[in-house]
A and B are shown apart, each in its own frame.
Chain A
Amino acid sequence: MELTRRQTLIAGIGAAAAMVLPIRAFAQDAPMVGELAEFTGGAEPGTGDITLTAPEIAENGNTVPIEVSAPGAAEIRVYALGNPVPGVAAFTFGPLAASQAASTRIRLATTQEVLAVAKLQDGSFIADRKEVKVTIGGCGG
């Protein structure tokens, strides 16, 4: 998994190449397997109109602001793949919701990928993700 993430990162420099890797890469890892399967019923999330916004490097790993938006979603779940318990947030949107977007703060134990999965009205799933680095601090120029 480590290797895959690294390759993704390198590929991701140019464009949205990060989106084309199947989510399966993460789902192989316990305890993600169970958590994601519980939400998607085993279905493989595709790509689509979902945007996860998170800082590239967290200013404070204990409280990382994230925002997720997926127009037309019935439910969005957010997973921190490197946390002991990956599931960190679940948002459900009623039929009268003005927009299907939410923002919150999450805690990240270490540098890791954050994954957002949306369940659309038709029952299909789409996902977006972002690597968030948690660092002990360095020295700027």
Chain B
Amino acid sequence: MISRRDFLQAAMATSAIYGASGFGNWGRLAAQQVLTQDQLLEFETFGNVSLIHLTDIHAQLVPIYFREPEINIGVGANKGEVPHITGADFRRLYGIEDGSPSHYALTYDDFAALGKTYGRMGGLDRIATVVKAIRAARPDALLLDGGDTWHGSYGCYHTAGQDVVNAMSLLKPDAMTFHWEFTLGTERLLELVGQVPFASLGQNIFDAEWDEPAEAFKPYEWFEAGGQKIAVIGQAFPYMPIANPGWMFPEYSFGIREETMQETVDTVRGEGADLVVLLSHNGFDVDKQMAGRVTGIDVILSGHTHDALPEPYVVGDTIIIATGSNGKFVSRVDLDVRDGKMMGFRHKLIPIFSDVIEPDAEMAAQVAADREPYKAELEEVLGTADGLLYRRGNFNGTWDDLICDALLEERDAEIALSPGVRWGPSILPGQPITREDVWNVTSMTYPNAYRTEMSGEFLKIVMEDVADNIFNPNPYYQQGGDMVRVGGMGYRIELSKPQGQRISDMTLLKTGEAIDPARNYVVAGWASVNEGTEGPPIWDVVEAWLKRNGTVTVGQNTSVEVIE
């Protein structure tokens, strides 16, 4: 955790180098002075096979700001291990200079100042430029999409995923796996899966009734590249019907299914695979554990937990690649595959600096065409951010503090609960908040903001349950999000305790009184996985609150005390 003094020093150092600046072209010029497209794409082609990994873009088709987490605590064997290293420690570990482009792209601190310097990141038109450049160097490179692609924006919601599918179809991935796509509902999902010109994979997607592999999703697909026989196995998010509303896709069952994973790897090895790639939406800690227990996987392309790592993580003979989220990065992995073995690799996590990488004209036109019908709605300004709005962090983020404030006031509640999801771009201080921005942090197909009563006892059960989904020491029992965000109530959490003993000192902030297990509290929240949840969609709640408040200031959140 960074102290205020450290923060000020970092901020001053940056100002000394780049001077102070508001919005406008200055930031763009600064980024271009430091970086060039050639530098970002520089890569000496290696071996005979290239993989391109893109994951968790959450329908962010145009460039965004996205602050990485400050608080991302690992438990059990992962305590203090990547990807649970943040800020200055992360930069020291990977030799990243303070104030550099990589500092801005990969760590959280001094984000507002660096954001003004280096500009937005991502954008599918820039990603298309990068993918085309890699394909120019290696025409048979495989592009693999780790999922959480057809979810997360105003346009994606209103077209039920079509705008993203249109754009991704131009990018032509070779295969994809899934998570939030299932919340489009089975019917629409299958329609889109039937539409796309690439393989839809998931060895752990089963028919719920018969507990057999689901017909619409193949466990793996064969590819040939560099004269090598390559098997790409898919692994969808294991806990979809638990973390998301199972009633939207009742036909399917998931799970980690380590046994069938090993069987699948053995099958493709037996059929002569020279290279086995796992396109995974397990989350990083689960992939790490799986790499140590399932034998025969060469490369895991890891998604779900939104970690971005500048180097592969090696477990035995397996390398794990983490490519971040929201379109900020593309990974290129070149491999030397010979005699059925991976003999070596070269890797680059390519940051998509949107002011440096030239947009691909064809993709830019496609994205613009799909945005056109919604342009006025997307661009309407609802308020202004006084400070930085961000989401990532184990316990809170200023975006979620804002959403909880809106829930408490608009729904007249004592306590607000907001889901600990990891998607949702950031807003810089002084930046107008548009309707698009609000949807980027709230868009989903089960958005209703409920208002209900919960006893103090039940609230504790909810908090303990969610905490165990994140801090269970065995990654196979984790679901990969962050702690539920709480408004109106403070608490203390001891991460190393077992379920039922982590949460204590629950306090109603309004009165400072301890939460009474026997009393009922009025609770407002959203993203309930229960069917038939009633209430206005969360984006309407936030929009109404923003319009009433204009310029919004979110104070420092000190209501959660964390004991590691």
| A-to-B contact residues, CB < 8 Å | 2, 6, 9-10, 12-15, 53, 55-57, 59-60, 65, 103, 111, 131, 133, 135-141
Mark contacts of B456-470 with chain A using CB atoms, 8 A cut-off: 1 yes-contact digit, 0 otherwise: 000001100110111
**What is the CB-to-nearest-CB distance from A18 to chain B, in angstroms, rounded to a whole number?**
10
* A139 near B420: Cβ-Cβ < 8 Å: yes
Q: Which residue of B lies closest to A63 (CB)?
A: B208
Contact A133:B477 (CB < 8 A) given known A139-B243, A141-B283, A141-B421: yes
- CB contacts (< 8 Å) of B244 on chain A: these are 140
- CB contacts (< 8 Å) of A6 on chain B: these are 498
* B477 near A56: Cβ-Cβ < 8 Å: yes
Task: Given A57-B479, A141-B480, output 16 extra A-B contacts at Cβ < 8 Å.
Answer: A9-B477, A10-B76, A13-B77, A13-B474, A15-B293, A57-B242, A57-B477, A59-B241, A59-B254, A103-B211, A133-B477, A137-B529, A139-B420, A140-B180, A140-B239, A140-B480
* B289 near A13: Cβ-Cβ < 8 Å: yes
* B473 near A141: Cβ-Cβ < 8 Å: no
* A136 near B473: Cβ-Cβ < 8 Å: no
* B255 near A140: Cβ-Cβ < 8 Å: no
Residue from A2, A12, A59, A65 with most neighbouring chain B CB atoms (10 Å): A59
Total A-B contacts with CB atoms under 8 angstroms apart: 105
- CB contacts (< 8 Å) of A135 on chain B: these are 242, 465, 468-469
* A139 near B461: Cβ-Cβ < 8 Å: no
- CB contacts (< 8 Å) of B419 on chain A: these are 138-139
* A137 near B498: Cβ-Cβ < 8 Å: no
| B-to-A contact residues, CB < 8 Å | 56, 76-77, 148, 179-180, 208, 211, 237-244, 246, 253-256, 259, 283, 289, 292-293, 304-306, 419-423, 461-462, 465-466, 468-470, 472-477, 479-482, 484, 498-499, 527, 529
* B469 near A138: Cβ-Cβ < 8 Å: yes
- CB contacts (< 8 Å) of B473 on chain A: these are 9-10, 13
CB contact between B240 and one of A60, A111, A131, A140 (< 8 Å): that residue: A140
Q: How far is the CA of A136 from the CA of B77 in the complex (A)?
A: 26
- CB contacts (< 8 Å) of B259 on chain A: these are 53
- CB contacts (< 8 Å) of A136 on chain B: these are 461-462, 465
Could you list 6 examples of A-B contacts with CB < 8 Å? A10-B473, A15-B293, A60-B246, A138-B243, A139-B466, A140-B421
- CB contacts (< 8 Å) of A138 on chain B: these are 242-243, 419-420, 465-466, 469-470, 479, 481, 484
Contact A137:B256 (CB < 8 A) given known A6-B498, A13-B77, A56-B476: no
* A139 near B237: Cβ-Cβ < 8 Å: no
- CB contacts (< 8 Å) of A10 on chain B: these are 76, 473-474
**What is the CB-to-nearest-CB distance from B357 to chain A, in angstroms, rounded to a whole number?**
26
**What is the CB-to-nearest-CB distance from B457 to chain A, in angstroms, rounded to a whole number?**
13
- CB contacts (< 8 Å) of B476 on chain A: these are 56
Q: How far is the CA of A12 from the CA of B298 in the complex (A)?
A: 24
**What is the CB-to-nearest-CB distance from A13 to chain B, in angstroms, rounded to a whole number?**
5
**What is the CB-to-nearest-CB distance from A94 to chain B, in angstroms, rounded to a whole number?**
25
Q: Which residue of B lies closest to A137 (CB)?
A: B529
* A137 near B243: Cβ-Cβ < 8 Å: yes
Residue from A10, A12, A57, A135 with most neighbouring chain B CB atoms (10 Å): A57
* A9 near B474: Cβ-Cβ < 8 Å: yes
- CB contacts (< 8 Å) of A137 on chain B: these are 242-243, 465, 529
Residue from A2, A15, A135 with most neighbouring chain B CB atoms (10 Å): A135
**What is the CB-to-nearest-CB distance from B392 to chain A, in angstroms, rounded to a whole number?**
10
CB contact between A141 and one of B256, B423, B461, B529 (< 8 Å): that residue: B423
Q: Which residue of A lies closest to B256 (CB)?
A: A56
- CB contacts (< 8 Å) of B465 on chain A: these are 135-138
- CB contacts (< 8 Å) of A2 on chain B: these are 498
- CB contacts (< 8 Å) of A139 on chain B: these are 243, 419-421, 466, 481, 484, 527
* B76 near A13: Cβ-Cβ < 8 Å: yes
* Top 6 closest pairs, chain A to chain B, by CB: A140-B243, A139-B419, A141-B422, A138-B469, A59-B241, A55-B255
- CB contacts (< 8 Å) of A140 on chain B: these are 179-180, 237, 239-240, 243-244, 304, 421, 479-481
Q: How far is the CA of A60 from the CA of B259 in the complex (A)?
A: 20
Q: Which residue of A lies closest to B245 (CB)?
A: A137
Q: Which residue of A lies closest to B292 (CB)?
A: A14
Q: Which residue of B lies closest to A136 (CB)?
A: B465
* B242 near A141: Cβ-Cβ < 8 Å: no
- CB contacts (< 8 Å) of B481 on chain A: these are 138-141
CB contact between B255 and one of A12, A13, A14, A56 (< 8 Å): that residue: A56
